[in-house]
Structure formats: C-alpha cells, structure tokens
Amino acid sequence: MVTSPAHSKIFILDFGSQYTQVIARRVRELQVYSEIVRFDLAAAEIAKLKANGIILSGGPASVYDKGAPQVDPQIFSLGIPVLGICYGMQLMAHHLGGQVEFSARREYGPGILHVTNGSLLFDGIGDQLDIWNSHGDKVIALPAGFRVAARTENSKFAAIEDPKRELYARAAKRFCKTLSITSVTARWIGRWARSSRRLARAFASRSAIKRSCSA
C-alpha cells in the first residue's frame, strides 16, 4: 500500500530502468514531491492518492515479452497527465491502440533527435538534441489522437504527444551528458509540467512555497 503526503505529487511507475532515480531527482529539483512506485499500481489507487501526474519509466523488457511488466491501462483515462520514457512510451502506444514492433535495427548508443511540429515539450530546448537510445522495439503506428513530436534516423515516431489528453512520450532513454543531463532533462520535465494546467498549478505552488520560505 502506497501512502503519500497530501501535497502535490508525481508518481513514477518503475519498470526497471537504471535511470528511474535520476527522473525522480529531476522532479524534486523542480520543487515537487515525487515517489517511485510499483509499475502495476492500480489506476484506482493512483486516483485515490490524488496524484497530479504520472511518469512511466523505461525498462529492459519488450511489450511483447512473455511476463513483461504491464501498466494498468485505466491510468490513461484518469484525466491525469502522463509522461512515458523509453519502455514507458512503447507501453503507452501499445495500450492506446498504436502499433509497436521489434526493430531489425536496434537503437543503442548516441543519436540525434529532430524536433518537429512545434512540440511544447521541446520549446526553448532546441530543434536538434543529442540523445542516448537503448531499445529494440519501436512505435510504427500512432494511437488515435496522437501526433509526432520528434524523429530520429531510425524512427519517425521518436517522441509523440496527445496534448488534448495530456499524454506525452519519448523513445530515448536520456539526453546525452554532452548537453548537461541535469539541465536538459530538468527543462524537458519542466516543459511537461507547464504544458498541463493541473501540473502547472502543482509546480507553481511548490515554487511559491520555496520563494516565501527563502524570503
């Protein structure tokens, strides 16, 4: 049973990524409480605990592996902003009617992310970003309501979004250290926060508290 404080919170569903702790730390650096929870935490429990947002971490599995960790698909119907990273993006696409397949050309190592369509999540960060990939699956068809936010040489769906439902995702595991992993990752998560009215209120209220305590 997860127990969380009453203030604004982001739940990070952990699918086994070695960067889950980094993601949690970046959220906390933005002055919002983050909690790493089991990947199979039920949507009803998340709603009961009044999470302001959900992040789906990466992980080593394929969505089609026997026994692969799966998310409760009802989380996408809670009206809570969701951000998927790497395996989290593949799960999002898979459960919402998109198509994910094993790629004959595994993406592992450095790559270039080309931002398209004026995505809010990359606004002010750059149109071309150095990234680090580590996945064999890739999204080849988008769920209904989604649009492309970025592409790579190997995938035209490297980042996707459905702003109306506040669902966002990227395939890359992380931004490269050459771009300062701290600043770029924090800014990207910050853009996600500001893209949603619900999240923006949560992040703004925590920032206001910090300012008042520092005055």
**Domains delineated in the chain:** 9-214 (3.40.50.880)
Alpha-carbon distance 70 to 67, whole Å?
Answer: 8
Question: Residue 206 corresponds to which tokens in the numbers above?
Answer: 């925590």
The whole-number average pLDDT for the span 138-167 is 90
pTM of the model: 0.84
Burial class (CB in 10 A: 0-12, 13-18, 19+), 187: buried
pLDDT tens-digit series, residues 44-98: 999 999 999 999 998 888 888 888 999 999 999 999 999 998 889 999 999 999 9
Confidence grade of residue 210 (pLDDT, cut at 50, 70, 90): very low
Q: Return the bridge partners of 12, or none.
A: 36, 55
Full DSSP string of 142-176: PPTT-EEEEE-SS-S-SEEEETTTTEEEES-SEE-
10, burial (CB in 10 Å: exposed 0-12, middle 13-18, buried 19+): buried
Residue 110 has pLDDT above 80, yes or no: no
